[in-house]
């Protein structure tokens, strides 16, 4: 974790908390916390999204609130700075949950969303050549996310990502899939995931953690048990933010490091890259 990333994460936490402190919804706090990270270019989301193997940034995002279980998501959008806001627009301006690809990008541009100029893509590459490059690449992943609880007792969760390094064009991970990358239900809690998306999808991890909260597990226990299963069953890797409507929370990860933080308005925001 660089000092710039830590400072940006602290700023994002302050933005989200101040919205809550003024009576805003958990949904708005989650969206605007993530927008700070997308705009910074310091994380694998928004301006800083990694390139797919054809040289194009394609981004995914989702958001969900726990009162009425409304959710919105976009996958493989291009050329915008704030996919998290596009996801919220899907939730609020349509009766759909997920829009994908070029038409998701067209939908976002319909709302005059701020655009991001991309470098010239490598469109001349064949899929065969991209598959060869894929085999020699190292996949690193990363997602920005947030969970929040507002004064009404409503929880919300969101996530935004550029995926993994050197991924095949068309690849979609867990982030825009409700129940995998994010989930929020006032009766259980809110979860936002980061990690190896394919493994998170296969165990529907976010919903799995919420199901354990329903059974009476604490956030720490629910997260620990599901992450242990992820590693044991499919050698997966992930980290999570978990928050209940009572305000109990945990940050857990099966990876050596996970940059994250929290703030309740007292003292300074807590930001570090290892949580145990």
- State the first-to-last Cα distance of the chain, in angstroms, to the nearest integer: 17
**Nearest Cα to Cα of residue 258 among 241, 234, 233:** 241
Residue 218 burial class via C-beta count within 10 angstroms: exposed 0-12, middle 13-18, buried 19 and up:
middle
| Residue 2 designated active-site | no
Catalytic residue among 143, 154, 244, 250: 143
Q: Which residues are catalytic?
A: 143
């Amino acid at each position: 974790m660089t000092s710039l990333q830590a400072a940006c994460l602290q700023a994002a936490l302050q933005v989200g908390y101040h919205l809550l402190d003024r009576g805003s919804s958990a949904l708005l706090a989650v969206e605007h916390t993530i927008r700070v990270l997308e705009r910074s270019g310091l994380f694998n989301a928004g301006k800083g999204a990694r390139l797919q193997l054809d040289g194009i940034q394609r981004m995914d995002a989702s958001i969900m609130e726990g009162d009425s279980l409304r959710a919105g998501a976009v996958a493989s959008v291009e050329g915008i700075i704030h996919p998290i806001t596009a996801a919220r627009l899907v939730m609020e301006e349509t009766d759909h949950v997920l829009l994908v690809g070029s038409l998701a990008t067209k939908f976002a541009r319909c709302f005059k969303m701020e655009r991001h100029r991309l470098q010239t893509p490598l469109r001349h590459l064949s899929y065969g050549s991209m598959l060869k490059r894929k085999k020699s690449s190292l996949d690193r992943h990363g997602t920005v996310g947030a969970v929040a609880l507002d004064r009404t007792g409503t929880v919300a969760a969101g996530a935004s990502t550029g995926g993994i390094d050197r991924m095949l064009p068309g690849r979609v991970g867990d982030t825009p899939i409700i129940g995998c990358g994010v989930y929020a239900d006032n009766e259980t809690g809110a979860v936002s995931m980061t990690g190896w998306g394919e493994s998170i999808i296969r165990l529907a991890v976010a919903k799995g953690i919420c199901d354990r909260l329903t059974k009476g597990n604490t956030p720490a226990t629910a997260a620990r048990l599901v992450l242990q299963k992820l590693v044991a069953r499919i050698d997966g890797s992930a980290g999570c933010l978990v928050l209940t409507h009572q305000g109990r929370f945990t940050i857990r990860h099966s990876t050596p490091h996970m940059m994250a933080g929290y703030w309740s308005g007292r003292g300074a925001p807590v930001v570090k890259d290892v949580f145990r």
